[in-house]
Amino acid sequence: MNRFFTFLLTFVSIFIVSCQKSDYDYDDTPQGNLDALWTLIDQRYCFLTYKEEQLGFKWTDIHAKYSAKLGGEMSRVQLFEVLSQMLSELKDGHVNISTSLDLGRNWSWKEDFPENLNTELRQSYLGSDYHIGSSLRYTILPDNIAFVVCESFSSAIGDGNLSDMLTYLRLCDGMIIDIRGNGGGELTNAEKLSRRFTNEKRLVGYTLHKTGTAHDDFSEPRAEYIEPSDGVRWQKPVVVLTNRSCYSAANIFVRNMREMPLVTIMGDRTGGGSGMPFTSELPIGWSVRFSAVLSLDARGGQTEFGIEPDVSSALDDALAAQGTDSMIEQARAYLKSQR
Amino acid sequence: MKQTCFLFLSVLLAFFPKVASAEDIELQPVDGRSPTERAFMLGIGSTNQLDTYLSPMSYKGTQLSFLARSERMTHLASRHVSFQNTFHATFTSADNPAGTASCLGGRLAYDAGWHYHFSPLPHFDLKGGALVGADLGFLYNDHGGNNPAQGHFSIDLSLSAGAAYSFRLRKLPLRVGYQADMPMVGMMFSPEFGESYYEISQRGVGHNLLCAHPGNALCFRQTLMLDFHLKRITLRVGYLCDIRQSNAHSLKYRDASHSFMFGIARHFQLMKRVKNEK
């Protein structure tokens, strides 16, 4: 009897003593929030080693640099500014602090470069009698070139949308897919569109994720393939028009399309953003977004800072003032030369 | 219409003549089957959740739960062994410390097993045994992103021990019972540290299944219940402490809840129809 109670008490005691505690000991103070943010990036951000090499900073130095900017009595606005500045060191559009005050961001990947896009001018090429299939708008230009505008991958693109679009455009001599200004969205939509431009399974890249808290704790690279669609597939030359605003899923789309036959990437370098973002939070309750899963291209190279086009082109402002989009015209000329 | 009903009843009586003559049938307990005790309880309590895949912060909130437990003595070991099964469902809503985000969760757990009973003192029953169980749950955090939710799954073999004491307070018969269950070995699902569910969907869950043991998944459930009879109904009130936790792939998970439970307990006897030989 006594033995039973001893066993029972031991059973319960061992459990109560060993109940798991969060090892998250950061207070909701300016220093506590900075420490929490710094640790989050230190342990979970997938590009830290790469960014340290490319941008020439040490993350350990960043902690000291921004801790020095903290004061005992700081307003929320002041704290937000310090933490946002700290994250800006990473130059990553997928890294943000989201608060009711503002969205902390670093959009230098597009804001520091020419936009190379005039949406009104682009709309004049579509005219008013264009087709809409989900987030795709398309028409046939007078020289029998298909012109497809994809401004976002956020909305689901249906297989029916794609088959109907390609059927409608099937007699065209070539296709321009204009993704300038496309800031990303769902990877699955980018993949779905890519599948229409290959007749065989193609290696397009690799993904890795963090497996532990150390900077270089990564999983083995997992090959990513694009399988040909069972629906209508495009068999003629394609130009993908890009600018610096092509980010995230749009960057992945360019990475995929680069591996497709008959596809030429034209325009400006893409904005990058090859990490898949996760979300976490700080003791103050602010959400933090950060890149957690890393994508490489088919040769194992980084595309976090963008992808160079096969053919460079830029928007000529003088021609734009006359109603001509020099980038679309260059793409048309290129496709005509491929006939 | 009357004709149709008459025809239908005639056919029914033709096929089941014995059912119609109820006086020939009497009910008797099935051989070797003891009465089954079934309890159905609802609970409300507090929860403390941590899932570092979603957030490093602990969330606190409310839990609603349903617990159904049945137990009956078997003919094993001279009727010293009981068979028990338990179904436990919970729904939780919790907030982060700053109150800027909330987390919804749900869990379904089922376990079944055997206890060996012995009575060292009159009206005092001790039991010890093992249970096999499965647990399926989710947590959804409304802060969005590509990691808004986390799934939990485990199967395990638990050790279980308990005690029960029957007594009277004035003229009211009471019974107090305690049971503690602790998984000792099993299997559980866990994503890798920074792995997205998008990747898991692409590559399968093979590498996400781990051996679970108290070293990486120390879990515990205890119930303390008081039964008292009011007329023909046995009311049951008590306390349920349910703690699930794991530490795998550098990710920590904890769902600790303490609930006040209330419900009814009934005793059922499996009967069979026996033809009355007169």
Give the dihedral of Cα atoms B71, B77, B80, B85; nearest 10 deg.
-20
- Tokens 């009465």 — which residue? B35
Number of CB atoms found within 10 A of residue B196's CB:
21
Domain span at residue A168 reads 119-274+294-337
pLDDT of the residue at A8 = 53
pLDDT at site A146: 97
pLDDT at B4: 52
Question: Does residue A11 carry a pLDDT above 60?
Answer: no
Using a CB–CB cutoff of 8 Å, tell me whether A208 touches chain B.
Answer: no
| A162 in any annotated domain | yes
Residue A281, min C-alpha distance to chain B (Å): 6
Query: Which residues in chain B have Cβ-Cβ distances shorter than 8 Å to A289?
Result: 145
Question: CA distances (Å), B97 to each of A20, A33, A103, B43, B47, in order?
Answer: 18, 13, 21, 24, 13
Please classify residue A258 by burial: count the beta carbons closer than 10 Å to its beta carbon, then call 0-12 exposed, 13-18 middle and 19+ buried. Answer: buried
Please determine, for residue A201, whether its predicted confidence score (pLDDT) is greater than 70: yes
- C-alpha–C-alpha distance, residues B101 and B4, integer Å: 64
| A229 part of a folded domain | yes
What total number of domains does chain A contain?
Answer: 1
| Chain A residue with minimum CA distance to B203 | A222
The conformation of residue A213, written as its DSSP 8-state character, comes to S
A2 pLDDT band, cuts 50/70/90, is: low
A167 assigned to some structural domain: yes
Q: Which pLDDT score is estimated for B230?
A: 82
Classify residue A324: in a domain, yes or no: yes
Compute the distance between CA of residue B20 and CA of residue B22 in angstroms, rounded to an integer.
6
Nearest CB neighbour to A209, from listed B98, B144, B199: B199
Contacts (Cβ under 8 Å, ≥6 apart) of A160: none
Of A241, A247, A210, the C-alpha closest to A314 is: A241
Q: Is A62 within a domain?
A: no
Pair A259, A206: CB distance under 8 Å: no
Residue B116 token pair = 């060996």
Residue A94 contacts B, CB cutoff 8 Å: no
Distance from CA of A97 to the nearest CA of B (A): 12
**Residue A258 domain-assigned?**
yes
B contacts of A284 (beta carbons < 8 Å): 98
Which CATH number do you get for residue A246?
3.90.226.10
Q: Judge whether A201 lies within some domain.
A: yes
Q: Chain A closest CA to B162's CA: distance in Å? A: 9
Distance CA B179, CA B220 (A): 11
Q: Report chain A's C-alpha Rg in angstroms.
A: 25
CB B260 within 8 A of CB B225: no
Predicted pLDDT at A240: 98
Does residue A73 carry a pLDDT above 90? no
* Residue among B195, B198, B249 whose CB faces A187 most closely: B198
Length of chain B measured in residues: 278
**Exposed, middle or buried: residue B150 (CB in 10 Å: 0-12, 13-18, 19+)?**
buried
pLDDT of residue B13: 45
Distance CA A291, CA B194 (A): 10
Residues 6+ apart with CB under 8 A from A265: A239, A240, A242, A254, A257, A258, A307, A309, A310, A311
In a domain, A107, yes or no: no
d(CA A18, CA A48): 34
pTM, two decimals, is 0.85
From chain B, pick out residues whose CB is under 8 angstroms from the CB of A280: 54-56
Enumerate the residues of chain B whose CB falls inside 8 A of the CB of residue A19.
218, 243, 245, 254, 256
Contact A41, A48 (CB under 8 A): yes
Q: Domains, chain B, ranges and CATH? A: 30-275 (2.40.128.100)
What does residue A167 show for φ and ψ, rounded to 5 degrees?
-65, -45
Q: What is the pLDDT of residues A116-159, one digit of tens each?
A: 999 999 999 999 999 999 999 999 999 999 999 999 999 999 99
pLDDT tens, per residue, chain B with 278 residues? 455 555 554 544 444 444 444 456 676 666 666 778 899 999 999 999 999 999 999 999 999 999 999 999 888 888 899 999 999 999 999 999 999 999 999 999 999 999 999 999 999 999 999 999 999 999 999 886 788 999 999 999 999 999 999 999 888 889 999 999 999 999 999 999 999 988 888 877 778 999 999 999 999 999 999 999 887 889 999 999 999 999 999 999 999 999 999 999 988 777 777 776 55
User: Across the interface, which of B52, B146, B180 has its CB nearest the CB of A11?
Assistant: B180
ipTM score: 0.85
Report yes or no: A286 at the B interface, CB cutoff 8 Å. Answer: yes
Please name the residues between 201 and 240 in chain B that touch chain A, using a CB distance below 8 Å. Answer: 202-203, 218, 220, 222
